Amino acid sequence: MSQKTAKYRKDYKAPDFTIDTVDLTVELDPVNTRVTSTMVVRRQGNHQQPLELDGEGLTLESVSIDSESIPEQQYTVTDQQLTITTDKEHFTLTVVNSINPRDNKALEGLYLADGTYCTQCEAEGFRRITYYLDRPDVLAKFTTTIIADKQSYPFVLANGNLIKQSEEGDKRIAVWEDPFPKPSYLFALVAGDFDVLRDTFTTREGREVKLELFVDKGNLDRSDHAMTSLKNAMKWDEERFGLVYDLDIYMIVAVDFFNMGAMENKGLNVFNAKYVLANPRTATDQDFLNVESVIGHEYFHNWTGNRITCRDWFQLSLKEGLTVFRDQEFSSDLGSRAVNRIQDVKIIRSHQFTEDAGPMAHPIRPDKVLEMNNFYTVTVYNKGAEVIRMLHTLLGEEGFQRGMKCYVERHNGQAVTCEDFVAAMEAANGADFSQFRRWYSQAGTPQVKATVDYDNDNKQLVVSLRQHTPATPGQETKQPFHIPVKLSALNPAGEVIQLTDTVLELTETEQDFRVSGAFTDKLTAQQQPVVSLFDNFSAPVKVEREISRDELRTLMAFAPDPVSRWDASQQLFATLIHEAVAKETTVQVDADTVQACRELLNSDTDPALIALALTLPNIATLADSYSVIPVEKLRHNLKRLKRHLAESLEDSIRERYQQLSAELDSNGYQLQGQDIARRQLRNTLLSYLAEVETESDWFIERYRQTDNMTDSLALLQATVWTQHQQAQPLLTLFDEQWRGEKLVMDKWFQTQALADSSNTVEAVQKLMEHPDFTLDNPNRVYSLLAAFTQNVAQFHRVDGAGYRLVGQVIRQLNDSNPQVASRLLSAFVSWRRYDADRQALMKQELEQLRALPGLASDLFEKVENSLAA
């Protein structure tokens, strides 16, 4: 295939034409779907440029203007475009083309999979359905007529409200009208046979909205939680943001074949089934929380993404960063704010920091795009959310909501930019965020070097901060960021010291701050305060600071901010491992650290917070401290640290485990916050017990007693990940119990792919032959192959077997689903951060991909950037 040409944000110009309305008729057929598109087109500006419509994989049948066919010399067709020459200023264009949904394995545009017609149009999939101005700044009102076999496809759905339905012979005809102008990426069409869960929601305006949730036959018992989550999201958005739903119906369809997590198409959200289907037998607590989060995320897009959309794809974080922030707040308001925030931070540290340090580093608003699919990244989404959160920190809740109100009032119904959002925040609050805008334009993770001293004479903290951001591709030098620094202070006994300033604003390369507080009330003459910086992870930065183990243990036990308590435990564990690596010894755990862990374990703190604090940092997070990642040393010391803590704390772990089991088992499974937290701690302790448990049949007996997937999976993972003798019997039992249940078996695949075992590569190869595995389904690929690439020790096995395995799969997917192949390729992009032998092996795979005939643009961009880094 021909490679795409790079586009630059600076070159943006409004389209020469726009489209006001679209009447789309889709006659569904597995291999010859006929699409008739009638568009009202307007020329914009004084020019005589031809109309250039995007189109890929289409067979053109006819073109007419104002109901008259135009001669062939008036238009040209390539494999990427339909170009029409006309001098008309305003006209009706009708294009008829055909497509083959059954052979569409890329799952972009309109495709037929597992007996269901489905669409995925973001970012540039609509051009695979019909010829169109496939860009987000062309907003049109769509009316969609779907014609399908009535026996095979009882449900035919599209955006908006159903205005007409009829039958003609063996055909069902449904007409859907979306009253709100939208870009083509928000178009959706689904046809299939489903079970349907129906409900209603009454808006604060008193309008009743029909809610419909479509799932595969037999899955209705797994859909209640998704419906509850949707109603909670609608209510929350009204109460927290004042935003009300605007159509008569809201539909969600769960499908198994889907590249993404979900899609916010106006009024018809298409979801990967894993983010809809959940009951206690088949889904873990985390699955339930993920369903709630993603249901909320796509619903919140109705305003932050649909009613106000992106001017161009460089502005993707305008909708995604903001909506991720909104779904994070939704989850935090409904659940544990501390636990949700820690999970957010873990994603940034283990994934986004790595992306910032690699050859694909980009700002949250990129300046250059070759393949847009490659920019659906943790930087655009999760770092984008952190940037929104910093605005919230600087403005407070009231100021942020004033800014949101201004943003909605100014831009409802428009396609706008990140600049428009920041400008609304400024206008509503009389603020100046000129410097803050650098978060949108500069790539990389700022590194803040901090020193904290106590001026005993003046009773003040002296906080000295210096920021530096390393060079990233295309950006050698960086200007200082505007960084909010939340802080708090304790005395050595753990009592909180009230400070006059709790948020410092770092805006210079070097800055000193003096902070007063009630030090005389809490400190003796000889004592020094214990200071926590970047409470609640107030900015996505790396902090370099000399802090003693005693101070970390104090923060771990008493910090008023729960994120800082967790962070102190992670720093403490990381310090032990880094010291062992530096000295080329095996990690040693001092008695004070063991005692701090024991006190935490026995405390009355939120059990989920204890679980997170006792969970060791993973290799990916630890690796961020090294220019050349010492894979074996990190692996060895992590294993040794886990074992040492398990042995040292065994009595306390068993006692707390039994206490939690007694509390949980007496009432059976309940999906409520306190029980979720208890299960999280119990299963964290289980992972430690697996290190020391020698009774051969304990795990099997416990597995047979479980009444929920959370506990069943925890037992399976504990044995597999410690290579316990009961691992294989449990794997066999799980397979026999759940074979054929696709989403459940994904957990089985993933558990084995993440096992740090010398034969994991061979196990993954064998699992690819399992009846429940197929490369055609993204969920299967993600659960097995993508999970394996996160297994740092085994993917980077010194003989290169991991690289060869994944490289071969990427080559296979290049021809069928390059978007999924590109996600697997991400594991190779930081190849220069490994030792020379591994570099050579990874480079060899990249060069083989570069030489591949017909290399897809999704892969071409990453391969070229990686090799050129």
Name the pTM for this structure.
0.98
3-class DSSP state for residue 232? helix
Taking residues 299-316, what's their average pLDDT? 98
Q: Give the CATH number, domain containing residue 328.
A: 1.10.390.10
Assigned domain for 787 exists? no
Q: What is the pLDDT of residue 3?
A: 64
Can you name the residues that pair with 681 across neighbouring β-strands? none
Assigned domain for 584 exists? yes
Q: Give the CATH number, domain containing residue 89.
A: 2.60.40.1730
| Domain C-terminal end among 676, 696, 716 | 696
Residues 660 and 558 in one domain: yes
Phi-psi region of 85 (alpha: psi -120 to 50; beta: other; left: phi over 0): beta
Residues 399 and 526 in one domain: no
Q: What is the pLDDT of residue 1?
A: 43
Q: Which of 743, 742, 762 is nearest to 752 (CA)?
A: 762
Angle at 96 between CA 371 and CA 56, to 5 degrees: 15
Q: Is 627 exposed, middle or buried (0-12, 13-18, 19+ CB in 10 A)?
A: exposed
- Indicate if the pLDDT at residue 445 is higher than 80: yes
Catalytic residues: 298
- Indicate if the pLDDT at residue 732 is higher than 70: yes
- Indicate if the pLDDT at residue 2 is higher than 60: no
Residues 173 and 229 in one domain: yes
Question: Under a CB-based contact definition with an 8 Å cutoff, are residues 131 and 53 in contact?
Answer: yes
Residues 126 and 251 in one domain: yes
- Give the domain range for residue 529: 451-546
Residues 123 and 257 in one domain: yes
Q: What mean pLDDT, rounded, does the chain reach? A: 97
- Indicate if the pLDDT at residue 836 is higher than 80: yes
In whole angstroms, what is the distance from residue 322 CA to residue 396 CA? Answer: 16
Q: What is the pLDDT of residue 869?
A: 83
Residues 68 and 148 in one domain: yes
Assigned domain for 804 exists? no
SS3 content of the chain, % helix, strand, coil (to 5): 45, 20, 35
In whole angstroms, what is the distance from residue 347 CA to residue 353 CA? Answer: 9
Which residue carries 């859909």 as its tokens?
Answer: 223
Residues 327 and 266 in one domain: no
- Indicate if the pLDDT at residue 565 is higher than 80: yes
- Indicate if the pLDDT at residue 390 is higher than 70: yes
Which residue carries 């005993």 as its tokens?
Answer: 456
Please report the DSSP string for 164-207 in residue order.
EEEEETTEEEEEEE--S-B-GGG--EEEE--EEEEEEEE-TTS-
Assigned domain for 415 exists? yes
SS3 string, 610-646, reads HHHHCCCCCHHHHHCCCCCCCHHHHHHHHHHHHHHHH
Angle at 656 between CA 652 and CA 662, to 5 degrees: 150
- What is the tally of structural domains in the chain? 4
Please report the DSSP string for 791-853 in residue order.
-HHHHT-TTSHHHHHHHHHHHHHHHH-HHHHHHHHGGGTTGGGS-HHHHHHHHHHHHHHHTST
Residues 266 and 401 in one domain: no
In whole angstroms, what is the distance from residue 601 CA to residue 614 CA? Answer: 8
Question: Under a CB-based contact definition with an 8 Å cutoff, are residues 828 and 846 in contact?
Answer: yes
Q: Which two tokens stand for residue 658?
A: 């039994």
Question: Under a CB-based contact definition with an 8 Å cutoff, are residues 615 and 721 in contact?
Answer: no
In whole angstroms, what is the distance from residue 679 CA to residue 714 CA? Answer: 10
Cis peptide before 450 (omega within 30 of 0): no
Residues 655 and 683 in one domain: yes
Give backbone dihedrals phi and psi of 387, rounded to 5 degrees, phi first.
-65, -45
Which residue carries 């998704």 as its tokens?
Answer: 226
Taking residues 316-322, what's their average pLDDT? 98
Residues 143 and 258 in one domain: yes
- In this structure, what DSSP letter does residue 6 have? P
Question: Under a CB-based contact definition with an 8 Å cutoff, are residues 865 and 832 in contact?
Answer: no
Assigned domain for 719 exists? no
Question: Under a CB-based contact definition with an 8 Å cutoff, are residues 856 and 821 in contact?
Answer: yes
Angle at 631 between CA 831 and CA 681, to 5 degrees: 115
Assigned domain for 832 exists? no
Residues 113 and 202 in one domain: yes
Express each pLDDT in 471-518 by its tens digit: 999 999 999 999 999 999 999 999 999 999 999 999 999 999 999 999
| Domain C-terminal end among 521, 546, 571 | 546
Which residue carries 């397979």 as its tokens?
Answer: 735
Q: What is the pLDDT of residue 5?
A: 87
Express each pLDDT in 225-272 by its tens digit: 999 999 999 999 999 999 999 999 999 999 999 999 999 999 999 999
In whole angstroms, what is the distance from residue 220 CA to residue 513 CA? Answer: 58
Q: Give the CATH number, domain containing residue 604.
A: 1.25.50.10
Express each pLDDT in 50-78 by its tens digit: 999 999 999 999 999 999 999 999 999 99
Taking residues 109-122, what's their average pLDDT? 98
Assigned domain for 569 exists? yes
Express each pLDDT in 775-820 by its tens digit: 999 999 999 999 999 999 999 999 999 999 999 999 999 999 999 9
In whole angstroms, what is the distance from residue 220 CA to residue 212 CA? Answer: 12
| Domain C-terminal end among 674, 696, 718 | 696
Residues 535 and 565 in one domain: no
Q: What is the pLDDT of residue 164?
A: 97
Q: What is the pLDDT of residue 694?
A: 83
In whole angstroms, what is the distance from residue 852 CA to residue 855 CA? Answer: 6
Assigned domain for 133 exists? yes
Q: What is the pLDDT of residue 4?
A: 75
